Amino acid sequence: MKSMETTVYGKWIMIGEHAAVRGKPALVFPLLARSLHLRFLDNGEPLSVEFEGTHGEEMRLLFWGVIEKAFEMTGHSRRESTGQFILSSTIPVGAGLGASATLCVAIGRWFFEKGWVKEPELLEFCRQLENLFHGESSGLDVAVALYGKGLHYERGGDILPIQPLWSPNWYISYSGKRGVTSECIARVRELWAKDSALGEKIDLDMHEAVLAAERSLLTEYSEKAFDELADAIHKARSCFEHWGLAGGEMGQH
């Protein structure tokens, strides 16, 4: 492979985050305004990378860890490859927009082009790469980054495209706080360890909220459909409150 170029878009999870780790459904969509672009040219020199874009430099500490893990997973070594990567990103790291997933998918596609990963294996390969960041990735972020379309996602189950018949005016606002997803996952696990019955109830509430939101979006627009979507979003927020993930600065935003 002499050259390669790929663009991977960020994501926004409408509903279902965290419960997705335990196989509950979630609705997720690509964020086309934010992306990672990876170019590669085999110039015969040892592997190197340059970073561009408003948030490209933030990938510096992440890039080599991911690619070394990918080499390890495929039984290959960096010494076998030559060439230069140029990575440009407009996705801030730690803002919940899928920066780590886009990096894992871009690198996964490079390994696919090398012939070291087969296409049916690519989603799971990228999910395992993302475990570096999440501890245990549900694969939700990776799936939407890989497929680039809205998805109904269930870990170990259905991954189906979703095409809403209508959409409210969605807005994404930045709270000013960046976080580490693995810490949020750990907090939910702690709740499960202390009270598994409560953990199961919260997951069930999120499951019901996801299905209600999906039903509302897959019917023609009406005030009733709008209200049902709003109710589902509020129900999902209450799950975050019970998990302890919606307080402090986030709760005030």
- Mean predicted lDDT score pLDDT of the chain: 91
3-state secondary structure of 93: coil
**How would you classify the pairing of strands 48-52 and 82-89?**
parallel
For domain 3-161, give the CATH number. 3.30.230.10
d(CA 106, CA 109): 5
Contacts of 173-180 with CB under 8 Å at 24 or more apart are: 173/253, 174/95, 175/249, 175/250, 175/253, 176/249, 176/253, 177/249, 177/250, 177/253, 178/92, 178/93, 178/94, 178/95, 179/94, 179/96, 180/94, 180/133
Is the pLDDT at 175 greater than 70? The verdict is no
Domain range list for the chain: 3-161, 181-245
Number of residues that this document lists for the chain:
253
Find where tokens 């709008």 sit: 226
Work out the average pLDDT over 196-208. Answer: 92
**Share of residues in the chain with pLDDT > 70 (%):** 94
Residues 43-95 pLDDT 10s: 999 999 999 999 999 999 899 999 999 999 999 999 999 999 999 999 999 88
d(CA 229, CA 214): 8
